[in-house]
Structure 1
Amino acid sequence: MARITAGIATSHVPLLGVASDQGKDRDAYFGPIFAGYDWTRAWQQAEKPDVVILIYNDHASAFDMKIIPTFAIGCGERYASADEGWGARPVPDVEGHPDLAWHIAQSLVLDEFDMTIINEMDVDHGLTVPLTMMYGKPAAWPTKVIPLAVNVVTYPPPSGNRCWALGEAIRRAVESYGEDLNVQIWGTGGMSHQLQGPRAGLINREWDNRFLDGLTGEGDDLRRIPHLEYLRETGSEGIEMVMWLVMRGALGKRTRALHRHYHVPCSNTAIGHLVLRPDNGEGLDMTDDGADLATAAA
C-alpha cells in the first residue's frame, strides 16, 4: 500500500524564489537561509518520494474573492507556475498524480470533509518556493505533487484542530490506496509575520520555536491554539502555520525530528524548516536518517 514516510514543514517566502531565480541564493544575505536546506536536499536524493502532498495557500492566483474554498485539492495532470504580477517563475511545470489525488478526494469527502476539487489551476510561490528549497533548479521536478490549498487569507480560516484532523484523514486515505508509493506530506507558510499596519514586520522568535518544538513527539497541544493567539503572537499572516498542522496530523501519534532550521531575517519574516519522521516508538526505522537538529538563528 501507499504510505506517508515523512513530513516537511517550511516557510514559502516569495523572495526566496526571486533569490534562486536570480542566482543570489549563496550571497551574504540569502546564503545562511539556503544553507539550512542543504541537509534536506541531500536527504531527499536518498528518499526519492514518488508523490508529495503539498499543503499551501493560494495568494489570489487561482482563487479570488469570487470563490474562497476552505480546502481545495488539485486532481489535475499538470500545473503551470502562476504570473503573480511580474511574470511566471522560470521553473518546471508541476506534474500531478490524478489517480492518488482522486482517491484522496473521494476518501476525504466520505470522511466528511467538504473538499473543493480543482482540475485546472496555476500554482504560485506558496507551492513552487518549497519545491525550489528542497530540489534547487532541476530541469523537471523529481516528484509528482498533489496540491492541497487551505484558505488562510480571508476570514474565517479553518481551526488548527480541523487542519490536524484533515491530516489524520489524509493518512487514512493514503494508506487505503493499493499502489506501493512513497508519499511525503509538506506543510508550508509562516512563520510569525505581519505585512501591514502598525505591527508590520513583527517576528516572535520565542513563539516560533515553541511551535517547532510542539511538532515533535506525541503531544497535540498545537491543534488547540485559537485563532486569536496566532493573531496576537505571530501577526496577521502567522495563521499560515495551521497548514503545518495538516502535515503533523498525517504523521500519526508520534514524530521525531531529523532536521531543523530557523533563521531571522528573511524579507520581513523568519524562516522555519523542519523534517519529521513518523515514529512508532520502536526506534529508528531507517539507518540513514543522519539526524541533524542544529538550528540557525542569525
Structure 2
Amino acid sequence: MARISAGIATSHVPLIGVAIDQNRGHEPYFKPILAAYDWTRHWISRPENKPDVVILVYNDHASAFDMNIIPTFAIGCAERFAPADEGWGPRPVPMVENHAPLAWHIAQSLILDDFDMTIINKMDVDHGLTVPLSAVFGQPDAWPTRVIPLAVNVVTYPVPSGNRCWLLGEAIARAVESFDEDLTVQIWGTGGMSHQLQGKRAGLINQAWDQRFLDDMVADPARLRAIPHIEYLRETGSEGIEMVMWLIMRGALGPNVRELHRAYHVPASNTALGHLVLEKTS
C-alpha cells in the first residue's frame, strides 16, 4: 500500500531559481533565502525520509494554460514533463519524471470521488513546480524522486475555495492509500505567501497575517479552511490567494501533524517566503 508520510509547503518565488541556476547562493541577498531550506535538504537526504513520489501542487503561470483553457484542478499523467520556456529559455533543470501509474490511479479515484479533474498528457512545467524541487534538491543531474504535477487555477477568478482544496487533499490521500504498491509519498503545496505584483499595492507583504497562517497550519487548520477569498485579497495581496494550494497538502495529511521545520524570510524578490515541513502523525 502507498502512504503519504509528510508534507512540504513552500513559496515558489522565481528568484530562488535564479539564485540556484546562477550559483549566487553565497551572495548576501540570496544567502538567507536559500538558508531557509538547509534543514529540509538535510532531512530529505536521509534514506528514511526520501520519498518515492512527490505529488507537487502548484499553479501554472501561463506556460501550459492560457485564457482559452482554465482548468480548476489538473493532474499530469504523462511519463515526463519538460521545463517550460517562460520567456528567457527553459531553466537548466532535469526533466520531471512522473509516476504515471499512480497519477492515473489518482485521477480515476478523484473523478469517482466527484472531483472533476482535467487530465493532462502533454505540458511543460514552469517555475511553480521546478523552483520548489530546486530549493529542496539543489542541482542534481536527475530529480531523486518521481513527481506528479497537480496544477490549480489561482490566477483567474473564480478560484477554488480553501475548503474545496482541503477536501481535494483528503480525496488524494484516499486515492494514494488505495494504490497497491509499496510507495512512500510526500505531498507539497506551493505558492505564496503574501504578495502583490501589480497596481497601487504592488510590493504588499503582511508578515503578521503570514505568521498566523503558518501557526494555524498546525494549531487551527479549520480556521484556514474557512478564510474567504476577499480576506486573502485584502490582507495578502492579489497573489496571496496561492496559499489555498497549501491546504491541499494539509488536507492530505489528515487531522494530526507535527511541525518539523519552519522558515520565513522577507524579502524574497517582492514576496514573503514561507516554508513548512509537516509530518503525518496518524
For normalisation by structure 2, the TM-score amounts to: 0.98
- Whether the 8 Å CA contact 1:130–1:188 is kept in 2: the answer is yes
Residue of structure 2 equivalent to 1:71: 73
Residue of structure 2 equivalent to 1:2: 2
Shift of 1:218: 6.0
Quick one: which of 206, 209, 228 aligns to 2:208? 206
Aligned-partner Cα distance in 2 for 1:218–1:234: 19
Aligned-partner Cα distance in 2 for 1:277–1:21: 29
Residue of structure 2 equivalent to 1:85: 87
Q: Percent identity?
A: 75
Alignment root-mean-square deviation, CA: 0.7
Instruction: Trace 1:233-248 onto structure 2 (pairs within 5 A).
Output: 233-248=235-250
1:252-285: CA deviation from partner (whole Å, max 9, x where unpaired):
01111000000000100111000001123xxxxx
Q: What are the ranges of 5 or more consecutive residues in structure 1 without an aligned counterpart?
A: 281-298
Residue of structure 1 equivalent to 2:261: 259
- Whether the 8 Å CA contact 1:97–1:146 is kept in 2: the answer is yes
Shift of 1:26: 2.1
Partner SS state of residue 107, structure 2: helix
State whether structure 2 residue 19 is matched by structure 1 residue 19.
Answer: yes
Residue of structure 1 equivalent to 2:196: 194
Residue of structure 1 equivalent to 2:156: 154
Quick one: which of 115, 118, 138 aligns to 2:117? 115
Greater RCO (CA < 8 Å, at least 6 residues apart): 2
- Whether the 8 Å CA contact 1:79–1:122 is kept in 2: the answer is yes
Partner SS state of residue 250, structure 1: helix
Residue of structure 1 equivalent to 2:141: 139
State whether structure 2 residue 225 is matched by structure 1 residue 227.
Answer: no
Amino acid at match of 2:86: E
Q: What are the ranges of 5 or more consecutive residues in structure 2 without an aligned counterpart?
A: none
Show structure 1 runs of 4+ deviating over 3 A: none
Moved more, 55-64 or 25-34: 25-34
- Whether the 8 Å CA contact 1:217–1:254 is kept in 2: the answer is no
Instruction: Trace 1:248-287 onto structure 2 (pairs within 5 A).
Output: 248-280=250-282
Moved more, 20-29 or 164-173: 20-29
Amino acid at match of 1:101: A
Aligned-partner Cα distance in 2 for 1:86–1:187: 26
